[in-house]
């Protein structure tokens, strides 16, 4: 161990102590009007010291640890195998997707009501993530205000139903189209900005929309939100115990079955499932159309793509609009599921969660994004004590992914042809 | 007369906030000038600075220290120490491994870091806002007219003076010292600077440390000025400071100062004449407009894209 290494390791350990002791070790507590300082539990201090020791050991023996790690046998069973043939891989992916859909179809009939509710939320996130995947993963435009379009969809439905009594089925296309339109209008001026500026500008737009929703009290009800959003109907059949609107019948009376609150939940879930599948299929089509290829071409090399005659604005705008459209879709479903919306649901953190899903799943890969959406939404519910640490872990995971595997867990692979090596 | 007084009052308030924004903006602009990335977690560094300062002030008061300047100076030093260590560690963990990759990768890493730090403080200190004691009270009152009185509080004077000292020290450091010269060299051409024997990694770390220390100063000042802090308050302040940096021309240090002051005044004029709720809308709107029409900002240099 060189002396230099030792000094560096000591420095790192001291920094670890400095950044953790005041924040973790000393807690501010409000007592009446005064604030007092209390020490944390002994276990916290032990943990801090252990962390510092760990940092020290790692930094001091960094080279040998890294060397050992490199020598470890590779646990990845697929590492030695030849990469799967492309046609096979594509087939396998579509089989897995079909399998997930079939499984999802039977899901609500075997589990409890709470799980179905959660599954509906998962599907909403799947839709959002698939939409954002077009923008971030395929077109390479980092959109940090994606939640704004989600809000547009949700608020369109809520407001229209409040003022005109529109039904879910009418609101669905209107909400999605309006969100898409918003995306187009917002996207038009900003899309010529460079990547990181674009990210900040979209973030600004997202915040502006949220602040407007929060403060335009006469229209949106401000922080109190809008309630009484109607549930979807099935060919004019309502799922409530009593029919609310004239001319409608109720589901359980039509089919002569006993009323059950579960019908509504399952029905909403199935709608979300169908919409999520439609979203996935449409985007899958887009990916193979010229415009989809253009997205990726522009992402990979903007200058080359432009010199081949692609219109930068048109291509980027199409990705942005399509992404926004599906966010509006998801927003309408969300409003209908909750029955109540407020600006609280559309904060930046929500954008960050959707972005985390796309990043974790592998930018551009549909299967990866769907699996990540399921994992990210369900994991915190499975372990309640974990849910407190959810965002902490998301943040750390985003950093680690970028450092170790920026292409995501299940990266997208294009069908491509490789040249044979010539002897 | 009353209108004029009201206007000057808003101007004073704006300049106060603005000079604190300028302090945070320096961190963004220096980092951007050198490695071309938006340090999204900078707002969180500022928030951590404010928390550390409050912890230090509470601790020192509990220990029986009563002389105010000493408390403030010690709290300031503590905050600067913790924040700059944090800044250094963040760069080491989240930015250095991804340096030089595609533009979006460091940015996503920075967003992850920002979320992580927010929740780190949230879990350790609770999500509720904590009151920051008003240690510097009172002020000058002048120009009373009818029922409106213009005032300049001692707190505002403290903010001006501290900012002025920090900015002067920074300017001297950048223009005179060896490290400062190396900083300028690295920001002009990183590769060339490293060929000429400058340890660029060290300089980049130094940039993060300086930015974080200034953010900690702003954290203490604004924490006291606003009277309460919570784990989320770095986020909006960070965005505003970024706006200030872009407004002045990102990469330019005098630009960050100018941008901060302009943004602060614009904001306080909005809350003074329109409504306090829309002041954030104005600053984000300003950001969008500048990026659209003059992405180089007021004092920035145009960026040439090379193929």
pLDDT of residue A124: 92
B292: chain A residues, CB-CB within 8 Å: 189-190, 193, 201
Does an H or E element contain A347, and which?
none
Summarize pLDDT for B248-280 with one digit per residue, the tens: 888 888 888 899 999 999 988 888 887 777 788
pLDDT of residue B80: 93
Summarize pLDDT for A223-258 with one digit per residue, the tens: 787 877 777 776 666 666 666 665 666 666 666 666
The C-alpha of A260 sits at a distance from chain B's nearest C-alpha, in angstroms, of 40
Task: Tell whether the model's pLDDT for residue A215 goes beyond 80.
Answer: yes
Residues A58 and A117 placed together within one structural domain of the fold = no
Q: How far is CA B228 from CA A205, A243, B23, B123, in A?
A: 27, 50, 19, 18
Mean pLDDT across B206-210: 92
Task: Tell whether the model's pLDDT for residue B142 goes beyond 70.
Answer: yes
Task: Tell whether the model's pLDDT for residue A156 goes beyond 80.
Answer: yes
Does an H or E element contain A110, and which?
helix A86-110
The angle at the Cα of A185, spanning A179 to A191, to the nearest 5 degrees, equals: 110
Summarize pLDDT for B37-58 with one digit per residue, the tens: 888 899 999 999 999 999 898 8
What value does the mean pLDDT of chain B take? 86
Single out the residue of A363, A351, A357 nearest to residue A126, CA to CA: A357
pLDDT of residue A37: 76
CB contact B185 to A (< 8 Å): no
pLDDT of residue B189: 85
Residues A315 and A392 placed together within one structural domain of the fold = yes
pLDDT of residue A264: 78
Token representation of residue A130: 């698939």
Query: In angstroms, rounded to a whole number, what is the distance separating the alpha carbons of residues A147 and A155?
Result: 12
How sure is the predictor about A139, in pLDDT bands with cuts at 50, 70 and 90?
confident
Comparing CB atoms, the residue among B82, B112, B246 nearest residue A19 is: B82
Estimate the crossing angle of helix B2-35 against helix B253-273, to 10 degrees: 140
pLDDT of residue B78: 92
- The tally of CA atoms less than 13 A away on the side-chain side of residue A263 is 18
Report the residue of B55, B91, B117, B286 to disrupt the A interface, i.e. the one with the largest count of A CBs within 10 Å: B55
B294: chain A residues, CB-CB within 8 Å: none
Residues A268 and A357 placed together within one structural domain of the fold = yes
Residues A164 and A269 placed together within one structural domain of the fold = yes
pLDDT of residue A151: 92
**Do the Cβ atoms of A395 and B54 come within 8 Å?**
no
**Do the Cβ atoms of B295 and A193 come within 8 Å?**
yes
The angle at the Cα of A303, spanning A300 to A306, to the nearest 5 degrees, equals: 100
B7's CB contacts (< 8 A; 6+ apart) are none
Residue A149 or residue A390, greater confidence: A149
Range name among A20-29, A141-150, B214-223 with the lowest pLDDT average? A20-29
Residues A35 and A160 placed together within one structural domain of the fold = no
Number of domains in chain A: 2
The phi, psi pair for A26, rounded to 5°, reads: -120, 125
Residue A381 or residue A95, greater confidence: A95
Q: Roughly how many angstroms between the first and final C-alpha of chain B, as a whole number?
A: 59
Single out the residue of A408, A367, A390 nearest to residue A92, CA to CA: A367
pLDDT of residue A99: 85
The C-alpha of A347 sits at a distance from chain B's nearest C-alpha, in angstroms, of 12
pLDDT of residue B274: 79
Task: Tell whether the model's pLDDT for residue A125 goes beyond 90.
Answer: yes
A103 part of a folded domain: yes
**Do the Cβ atoms of B115 and A395 come within 8 Å?**
yes
B246: chain A residues, CB-CB within 8 Å: 197, 200
pLDDT of residue A57: 86
Report the residue of B50, B53, B78, B108 to disrupt the A interface, i.e. the one with the largest count of A CBs within 10 Å: B108
Residues A60 and A112 placed together within one structural domain of the fold = no
Interface of B with A in 195-234 (CB under 8 A): none
Q: What is the DSSP string of A194-260?
A: -HHHHHHHHHHHHHHHHHHHHH-HHHH-GGG-B--PPPP-BTTEE-SSS--STT-EEHHHHTT----
Report the share of chain B in percent with pLDDT over 70. 96
B88: chain A residues, CB-CB within 8 Å: 15
The C-alpha of B172 sits at a distance from chain A's nearest C-alpha, in angstroms, of 27
Q: What is the DSSP string of B181-202?
A: HHHHHHHH-HHHHHHTT--HHH
Residue B191 or residue A25, greater confidence: B191
CB contact B286 to A (< 8 Å): no
A18 part of a folded domain: yes
Summarize pLDDT for B281-292 with one digit per residue, the tens: 888 888 888 888
Tell me the whole-structure pTM to 2 decimals. Answer: 0.86
Task: Tell whether the model's pLDDT for residue B307 goes beyond 60.
Answer: no
Residue A169 or residue B301, greater confidence: A169
pLDDT of residue B206: 92
Summarize pLDDT for A268-308 with one digit per residue, the tens: 888 889 899 999 999 989 988 888 889 888 888 888 888 98
A82's CB contacts (< 8 A; 6+ apart) are none
Range name among A385-394, B103-112, B149-158 with the lowest pLDDT average? A385-394
A52 part of a folded domain: yes
Single out the residue of B6, B71, B55, B37 nearest to residue B208, CA to CA: B37
Query: In angstroms, rounded to a whole number, what is the distance separating the alpha carbons of residues B286 and A273?
Result: 41
- Range of A4-18, A19-33, A171-185 with top mean pLDDT: A171-185
The C-alpha of B94 sits at a distance from chain A's nearest C-alpha, in angstroms, of 6
Residues A134 and A15 placed together within one structural domain of the fold = no
Could you write out the three-class secondary structure of B42-74? Answer: HHHHHHHHHHHHHHHHHHHHHCCCCCHHHHHHH
The C-alpha of B220 sits at a distance from chain A's nearest C-alpha, in angstroms, of 15
- Would you call A263 helix, strand, or coil by DSSP? helix
How sure is the predictor about A322, in pLDDT bands with cuts at 50, 70 and 90?
very high
A199: chain B residues, CB-CB within 8 Å: 38, 104, 107
The phi, psi pair for A38, rounded to 5°, reads: -120, 150
Strand partners, A341: A226
Cβ-based neighbour number of residue B69 at 10 Å: 8
pLDDT of residue A65: 78
Residue numbers of the domain that contains A263: 99-404
The C-alpha of B145 sits at a distance from chain A's nearest C-alpha, in angstroms, of 33
Helix residue spans in chain B (DSSP H): 2-35, 42-62, 68-90, 104-125, 154-176, 178-188, 190-195, 200-226, 233-248, 253-273, 279-293
Radius of gyration of chain B from Cα atoms? 19
- Range of A354-368, A373-387, B205-219 with top mean pLDDT: B205-219
Interface of B with A in 143-182 (CB under 8 A): none
Segments making up each domain of chain B, as ranges: 13-130+151-293
Task: Tell whether the model's pLDDT for residue B306 goes beyond 70.
Answer: no
Query: In angstroms, rounded to a whole number, what is the distance separating the alpha carbons of residues A106 and A124?
Result: 18
Query: In angstroms, rounded to a whole number, what is the distance separating the alpha carbons of residues A399 and B96?
Result: 11
Q: What is the DSSP string of A131-169?
A: HHIIIIIIS----TTTHHHHHHHHHHHHHHHHHH---HH
The C-alpha of B166 sits at a distance from chain A's nearest C-alpha, in angstroms, of 23
A305's CB contacts (< 8 A; 6+ apart) are A294, A297, A298, A312, A315
Q: The complex's ipTM? A: 0.84
CATH dotted code for B13-130+151-293: 1.10.3470
Beta strands at B139-145 and B148-153: parallel, antiparallel or unpaired: antiparallel
Comparing CB atoms, the residue among A197, A207, A399 nearest residue B291 is: A197
- Range of A106-120, A196-210, B216-230 with top mean pLDDT: B216-230
Cβ-based neighbour number of residue B124 at 10 Å: 19
Radius of gyration of chain A from Cα atoms? 25
B101: chain A residues, CB-CB within 8 Å: 406
How far is residue B294 CA from its own chain's centroid?
22
Summarize pLDDT for B228-242 with one digit per residue, the tens: 888 888 888 888 888
Query: In angstroms, rounded to a whole number, what is the distance separating the alpha carbons of residues B206 and B160?
Result: 25
Token representation of residue A319: 């990705």
What value does the mean pLDDT of chain A take? 81
Token representation of residue B163: 């900012």
**Do the Cβ atoms of A23 and B37 come within 8 Å?**
no
Report the share of chain B in percent with pLDDT over 90. 29
DSSP-assigned letter for residue A341: B
CB A156 within 8 A of CB A215: no
- Would you call A418 helix, strand, or coil by DSSP? coil
- Would you call A181 helix, strand, or coil by DSSP? helix
Task: Tell whether the model's pLDDT for residue B212 goes beyond 90.
Answer: yes
Summarize pLDDT for A49-105 with one digit per residue, the tens: 888 888 888 888 877 777 777 776 655 555 555 566 667 777 887 788 888 888 877
Interface of B with A in 243-272 (CB under 8 A): 246
Query: In angstroms, rounded to a whole number, what is the distance separating the alpha carbons of residues A299 and A13?
Result: 41
Residues A170 and A213 placed together within one structural domain of the fold = yes
Report the residue of B29, B115, B304 to disrupt the A interface, i.e. the one with the largest count of A CBs within 10 Å: B115
A89 part of a folded domain: no
Summarize pLDDT for A393-409 with one digit per residue, the tens: 888 888 888 888 877 77
pLDDT of residue A416: 61
A334 part of a folded domain: yes
Residues A37 and A109 placed together within one structural domain of the fold = no
Which chain B residue has its CA at the smallest distance from A21's CA? B82
Residues A20 and A153 placed together within one structural domain of the fold = no
**Do the Cβ atoms of B93 and A399 come within 8 Å?**
yes
Mean pLDDT across A363-372: 85
């Amino acid at each position: 161990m060189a002396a230099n290494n030792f000094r560096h390791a000591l420095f790192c350990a001291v920094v670890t102590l400095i950044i953790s002791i005041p924040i973790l070790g000393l807690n501010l507590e409000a007592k009446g009007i005064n604030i007092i300082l209390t020490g944390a539990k002994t276990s916290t201090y032990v943990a801090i010291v252990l962390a510092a020791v760990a940092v020290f050991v790692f930094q001091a023996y960094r080279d040998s640890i890294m060397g050992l790690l490199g020598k470890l046998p590779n646990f990845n069973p697929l590492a030695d195998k030849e990469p799967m043939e492309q046609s096979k891989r594509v087939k396998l992916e579509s089989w897995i997707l079909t399998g997930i859909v079939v499984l999802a179809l039977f899901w609500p009939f075997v589990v409890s009501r709470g799980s179905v509710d959660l599954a509906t939320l998962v599907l909403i996130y799947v839709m959002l993530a698939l939409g954002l995947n077009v923008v971030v993963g395929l077109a390479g435009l980092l959109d940090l205000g994606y939640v704004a379009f989600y809000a547009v969809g949700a608020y369109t439905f809520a407001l229209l139903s409040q003022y005109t009594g529109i039904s879910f089925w009418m609101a669905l296309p209107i909400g999605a189209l309006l969100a898409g339109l918003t995306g187009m209008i917002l996207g038009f001026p900003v899309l010529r900005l460079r990547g990181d500026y674009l990210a900040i500008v979209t973030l600004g737009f997202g915040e502006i929309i949220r602040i407007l929703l929060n403060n335009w009290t006469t229209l949106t009800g401000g922080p109190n939100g809008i309630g009484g959003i109607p549930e979807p109907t099935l060919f004019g059949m309502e799922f409530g115990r009593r029919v609310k609107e004239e001319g409608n019948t109720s589901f359980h009376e039509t089919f002569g079955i006993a009323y059950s609150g579960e019908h509504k939940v399952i029905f909403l879930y199935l709608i979300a499932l169908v919409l999520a599948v439609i979203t996935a299929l449409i985007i899958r089509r887009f990916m193979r159309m010229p415009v989809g290829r253009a997205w990726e071409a522009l992402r990979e090399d903007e200058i080359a793509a432009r010199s081949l005659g692609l219109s930068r604005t048109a291509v980027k705008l199409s990705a942005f609009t399509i992404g926004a459209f599906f966010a509006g879709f998801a927003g309408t479903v969300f409003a209908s599921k909750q029955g109540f919306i407020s600006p609280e649901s559309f904060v930046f953190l929500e954008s960050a969660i959707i972005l985390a899903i796309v990043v974790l799943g592998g930018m551009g890969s549909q299967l990866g994004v769907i699996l990540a959406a399921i994992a990210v939404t369900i994991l915190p519910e499975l372990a309640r004590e974990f849910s407190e640490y959810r965002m902490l872990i998301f943040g750390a995971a985003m950093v680690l992914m970028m450092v170790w595997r920026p292409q995501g867990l299940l990266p997208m692979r294009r069908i491509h042809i490789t040249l044979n090596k010539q002897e | 007369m009353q209108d004029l007084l009201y206007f000057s009052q808003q101007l004073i308030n704006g300049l106060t906030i603005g000079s604190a924004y300028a302090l945070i903006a320096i961190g963004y602009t220096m980092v951007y000038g050198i490695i071309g990335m938006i340090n999204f977690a900078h707002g969180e560094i500022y928030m951590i600075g404010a928390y550390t300062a409050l912890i230090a002030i509470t601790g020192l008061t509990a220990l029986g220290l009563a002389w105010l300047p000493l408390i403030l100076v010690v709290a300031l030093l503590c905050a600067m120490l913790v924040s700059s260590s944090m800044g250094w560690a963040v760069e080491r963990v989240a930015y250095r491994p991804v340096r030089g990759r595609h533009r979006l990768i460091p940015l996503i890493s920075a967003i992850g870091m920002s979320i992580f730090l927010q929740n780190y403080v949230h879990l350790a200190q609770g999500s509720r806002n904590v009151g920051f004691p008003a240690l510097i009270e009172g002020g000058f009152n002048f120009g009373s007219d009818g029922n409106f009185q213009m005032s300049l509080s001692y707190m505002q004077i403290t903010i001006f003076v501290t900012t002025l000292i920090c900015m002067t020290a920074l300017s001297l450091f950048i223009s005179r010292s060896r490290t400062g010269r190396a900083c300028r060299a690295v920001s002009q051409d990183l590769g060339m600077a490293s060929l000429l024997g400058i340890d660029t990694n060290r300089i980049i770390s130094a940039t993060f440390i300086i930015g974080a220390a200034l953010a900690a100063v702003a954290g203490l000042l604004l924490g006291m000025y606003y009277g309460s802090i919570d784990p989320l308050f770095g986020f909006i302040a960070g965005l505003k400071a970024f706006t200030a940096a872009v407004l002045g021309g990102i990469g330019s240090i005098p630009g960050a100062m100018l941008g901060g002051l302009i943004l602060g005044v614009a904001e306080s004029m909005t809350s003074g004449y329109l409504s306090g709720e829309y002041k954030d809308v104005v600053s984000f709107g300003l950001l969008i407009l500048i990026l659209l029409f003059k992405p180089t900002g007021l004092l920035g240099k145009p960026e040439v894209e090379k193929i």
